[in-house]
Amino acid sequence: MVSWLQTRVVGNTLLAWLLAALWLVLAMLLTVAAKHIIVKRLRAIATRTSTHWDDALVHAIAGTYALLVGAMALYPLVENLNLPPKGARWAAAIAAIGLFVQIGLWAARFLDFWIKSSRDRAMQHDPETATGLAAMSFLARLMLWSLVALLLLDNLGFNVTTLLAGLGVGGIAVGLALQNILGDLFSSLSIVLDKPFQIGHFVVIDGFSGTVDNIGLKTTRIRSISGEMLVFSNTDLTKARLRNYKFMQERRILFTIGVTYNTAADMLERVPGIVQSIIVSQEQARFERAHLKDFGDSSLNFEVVYWMKTSDYGAYMDTQQAINLGLMRAFGAMGVEFAFPTRTVQLQLSGPLPVALAGLAGNPQCAETK
């Protein structure tokens, strides 16, 4: 049995190969067992704290993969086994890939959990921060994996400086091909930094209105009043004329009242005071002015302006309805009538009109009559 184990295979005894295989299996089994124990204990500790850093750490450790640890375990085997140069290079490369990929996964899971938890908290109190965190998540992952890839390539013996120079030249061609996508990406960053609107704001864009639901890297989704989802390109949003109602503290209301021309002048003089008293009686309204503005085609027009002390549209409609009903009751009591489009045609004759019957030239039957 001992002599059989001493049989040499590819420059190493069979015993050495068996020990190497046992080492790989034990490394992966110990990884699974240790991860389960460590994650369980750390999660119990994290639930008793108010900070989210320990929760992010637990989430990162839970992303430990036995296969990647097994790949990393190949590195000590390279030192202890007599491998051909090409085989040693391949084993070392696999070990390096496993190491850097696992480190990248730990860091990525840590960042993702921390940014997601921060974004969820910000959505309740600070939508502006939530918008910035959404873009920061993508940039953080992009920078992380770019750094991991460069370190891995450098460790594998590639000339990173030459590679970066080549990527710079190729990046120009890629940028030209993807200019629309890159334009939306930079527009997204512009929205995040300039903050013309944030998640939860009510906006109106080119006749479309709704609440901002999500600001992505390429598109922004808006939930319309009728319930459907509107999707806008970020580039289009940065070019559009956008109205944001989130920061509107008061709402200015202007409307017109038309009364008939047969209304007496003293009645017309009382109308602004009546309108003012009705508006002042509304709790959320502030009266500004009411004037006989002009003489319309079929009505005498009063222009009324007041302010709503709240930006809530439902409150505005309730107040306007109360004002309209109050005006109808007050005008009815005064005997003042609301005007509607009418047209009066008057025909007045002082005498008979001469009528000439025209015919062909020289026709003796042509005559003039009255």
Q: What single-letter DSSP state applies at residue 310?
A: S
| SS3 category, 288 | strand
User: Could you give all domains of the chain from N- to C-terminal order, each with its CATH number?
Assistant: 2-177 (no CATH), 195-244 (2.30.30.60), 251-334 (3.30.70.100)
Give me the tens of pLDDT residue by residue for the chain, a chain 370 residues long: 556 556 665 666 666 677 777 888 888 888 888 888 888 888 888 888 877 778 888 888 888 888 888 888 877 777 676 777 777 788 888 888 888 899 988 888 888 887 777 777 666 666 555 556 666 677 778 788 888 888 888 777 777 776 666 565 555 555 555 566 767 777 777 777 777 888 888 899 888 889 998 887 788 899 988 888 999 988 888 888 888 888 888 889 999 999 999 999 999 999 999 999 999 999 999 999 999 999 998 899 999 999 999 888 889 999 999 999 999 999 999 999 998 887 777 777 666 767 666 655 555 555 444 4
Q: What is the dihedral of CA 308, 313, 315, 320, to 10 degrees?
A: 70
Task: Give the CA angle between residues 4, 5, 9 to the nearest 5°.
Answer: 95
| Calculated CA dihedral for residues 61, 62, 63, 65, nearest 10 degrees | 100
- Residues pairing with 259 in the sheet: 300, 338
What string of DSSP letters covers 11-46?
TEEHHHHHHHHHHHHHHHHHHHHHHHHHHHHHHHHH
pTM for this model (two decimals): 0.49
What does the alpha-carbon distance between residue 277 and residue 287 come to, in Å, rounded to a whole number? 9
Q: How many CB atoms lie within 10 A of CB 223?
A: 15
